[in-house]
């Protein structure tokens, strides 16, 4: 089998989705599965749907196009504001998009009309993390724009916290969103079907709050894929954290001195580590580089240490681990390493069920 390759256990992803769906159901919150970290993999999307996700979402139009091939009527939400230059593709690939800009909404309306489609819109509200979001006082104007647009449907309101400034979802900021939903519904005599409170960073709040208000949807990627919540990267109880592995092949296995020799300056990707120690290292080079994975979040097997990673070479201290040229080594992945591996053209993919 070819290396490097990303191995994906679809049963574990289905199980992770199911646990989160069941945990959020008592609060009346449904799960939208986010596939952007795996390049919109239809197999991963299908596993999330089997696990009870109500719909799928991705940040890239090309990924949503890939998901459009799945059987059955599944909502596909574009979770990054559409580019103006992309609206025609957006209304075809996505059934819904998250939006903040009037110019984009007008263009989406025109594109949907041209395509003979109705496009759902969730307006994103700024709640303090300062990435995407309409200021609370400007939401009413955006609502009026969408309600007046013949080919758009106002599905609801949403928010995103934690990604830019680590702002933690809590009863206060989620309460602002809930209150806004009620105000919009009474002011304009509409019913908002989607109130999307946020991403995996909302989980702790959602399961511990005594009042989740009007929030009825979370967009979950990392929690399903890696079984951790992203605020503190705490493992989520009952979830698999090893649904993904990156497999690389050893291309050199030579004992080497601990200390380099010769004058030292910078290495390929910055400062040379100041290595204290003497003796010999049981060193291996794996054919894996920064073009295939991010060294941050690449987790070697117990007893093996990463000494460095350049574009194409991963240098390991094997410790007591036996290894030889041609052997494969499996690595666990954090979010950054997963995204890099899933988007690298050099990494093949093996998605399996029933193992
Ligand atoms: C990436 C993203 C998500 C999913 O985030 P996770 O932390 O992976 O759950 C949800 N919403 C938006 C707007 C995103 O960009």
Q: What is the mean pLDDT of residues 272-294?
A: 90
- Domains of the chain with bracketed CATH: 9-232 (3.20.20.10), 244-352 (2.40.30)
Name which of 72, 91, 335, 343 is nearest 225 in CA terms: 335
Residue 230 beta carbon below 6 angstroms from any ligand 1 atom: yes
What residue owns the CA closest to ligand 1's atom 10? 199
- Identify the burial level of 33 via C-beta atoms within 10 angstroms of its C-beta, where 0-12 means exposed, 13-18 middle and 19 or more buried: buried
Q: Tens of pLDDT along 13-42? A: 999 999 999 999 999 999 999 999 999 999
What residue owns the CA closest to ligand 1's atom 6? 221
Task: Find the 62 Cα to ligand 1 centroid distance in Å.
Answer: 17
**Residue 213 pLDDT > 60, yes or no?**
yes
d(CA 178, CA 172): 10
Q: Which residues, in sequence order, are bridge partners of residue 283?
A: 254, 317
Report whether 258 contacts 283 (CB < 8 A). Answer: no
d(CA 179, CA 352): 44
In this structure, how many other beta carbons lie within 10 angstroms of the beta carbon of residue 290? Answer: 17
Length of the chain: 355
Q: What is the mean pLDDT of residues 52-70?
A: 96
Residue 221 beta carbon below 6 angstroms from any ligand 1 atom: yes
Report whether 35 contacts 68 (CB < 8 A). Answer: no
d(CA 155, CA 293): 37
Between the CA of residue 265 and those of 180, 272, 283, 305, 342, what are the distances in Å? 57, 7, 22, 23, 33
Strands (E), the chain: 5-9, 30-34, 55-58, 75-78, 96-99, 119-124, 152-158, 194-196, 217-220, 228-229, 234-235, 244-257, 280-286, 298-299, 305-309, 314-317, 328-333, 348-352
The token pair that represents 203 in the structure block: 């989980």
**In which band, very low, low, confident or very high, does the pLDDT at 354 lie, cut at 50, 70 and 90?**
confident
% pLDDT > 70, the chain = 99
Pocket probe for ligand 1: among 160, 199, 336, the residue whose CB has the most ligand atoms within 8 Å is: 199
pTM flag (> 0.85): yes
What residue owns the CA closest to ligand 1's atom 11? 199
Pocket probe for ligand 1: among 221, 233, 336, the residue whose CB has the most ligand atoms within 8 Å is: 221
* Coil, helix or strand at residue 48: helix
Q: What is the mean pLDDT of residues 200-223?
A: 98
């989620």: which residue's tokens?
Answer: 174
Task: Find the 63 Cα to ligand 1 centroid distance in Å.
Answer: 14
**In which band, very low, low, confident or very high, does the pLDDT at 49 lie, cut at 50, 70 and 90?**
very high
Task: Find the 160 Cα to ligand 1 centroid distance in Å.
Answer: 8
d(CA 9, CA 11): 6
pLDDT at 355: 57
pLDDT at 274: 72
Tell which atom from ligand 1 comes closest to the C-alpha of 222.
8
List, in order, residues 6 or more apart from 269 with CB less than 8 Å away: 290, 309, 310
**In which band, very low, low, confident or very high, does the pLDDT at 265 lie, cut at 50, 70 and 90?**
confident
**Residue 108 pLDDT > 90, yes or no?**
yes
Residue 16 beta carbon below 6 angstroms from any ligand 1 atom: no
Task: Find the 233 Cα to ligand 1 centroid distance in Å.
Answer: 15
pLDDT at 339: 96
**Residue 73 pLDDT > 90, yes or no?**
no
pLDDT at 170: 98
Task: Find the 244 Cα to ligand 1 centroid distance in Å.
Answer: 18
Strands (E), 172-243: 194-196, 217-220, 228-229, 234-235
d(CA 298, CA 346): 16
**Residue 276 pLDDT > 60, yes or no?**
yes
pLDDT at 264: 87
């Amino acid at each position: 089998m070819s290396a490097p390759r990303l191995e994906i256990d679809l049963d574990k992803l289905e199980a992770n989705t199911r646990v989160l769906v069941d945990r959020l159901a008592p609060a009346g919150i449904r799960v939208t599965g986010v596939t952007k970290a795996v390049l919109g993999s239809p197999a991963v999307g299908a596993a999330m749907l089997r696990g009870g996700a109500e719909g799928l979402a991705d940040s890239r139009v090309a990924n949503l196009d890939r998901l459009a091939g799945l059987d059955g009527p599944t909502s596909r939400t574009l979770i990054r504001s559409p580019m103006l230059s992309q609206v025609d593709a957006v209304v075809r690939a996505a059934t819904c998009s998250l939006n903040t800009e009037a110019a984009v909404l007008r263009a989406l309306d025109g594109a949907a009309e041209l395509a003979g489609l109705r496009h759902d819109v969730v307006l994103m509200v700024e709640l303090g993390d300062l990435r995407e979001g309409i200021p609370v006082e400007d939401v009413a104007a955006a609502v009026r724009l969408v309600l007046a647009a013949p080919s758009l449907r106002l599905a609801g309101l949403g928010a995103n916290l934690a990604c830019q400034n680590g702002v933690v979802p809590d009863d206060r900021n989620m309460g602002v969103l809930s209150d806004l939903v009620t105000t919009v519904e009474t002011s304009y005599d509409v019913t908002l079907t989607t109130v999307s409170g946020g991403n995996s960073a909302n989980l702790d709040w959602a399961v511990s709050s005594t009042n989740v208000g009007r929030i009825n949807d979370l967009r979950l990627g990392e929690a399903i894929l890696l079984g951790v919540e992203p605020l503190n990267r705490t493992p989520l109880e009952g979830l698999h954290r090893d649904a993904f592995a990156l497999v690389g092949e050893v291309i050199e296995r030579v004992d080497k001195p601990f200390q380099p020799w010769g004058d030292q300056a910078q290495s390929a990707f910055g400062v040379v580590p100041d290595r204290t120690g003497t003796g010999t290292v049981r060193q291996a080079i794996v054919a894996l580089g920064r073009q295939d994975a991010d060294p941050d979040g690449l987790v070697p097997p117990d007893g093996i240490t990463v000494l460095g990673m350049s574009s194409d070479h991963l240098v390991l201290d094997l410790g007591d681990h036996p290894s030889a040229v041609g052997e494969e080594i499996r690595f666990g992945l954090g979010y950054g390493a997963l995204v890099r591996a899933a988007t690298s053209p050099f990494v093949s993919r093996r998605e399996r069920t029933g193992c």
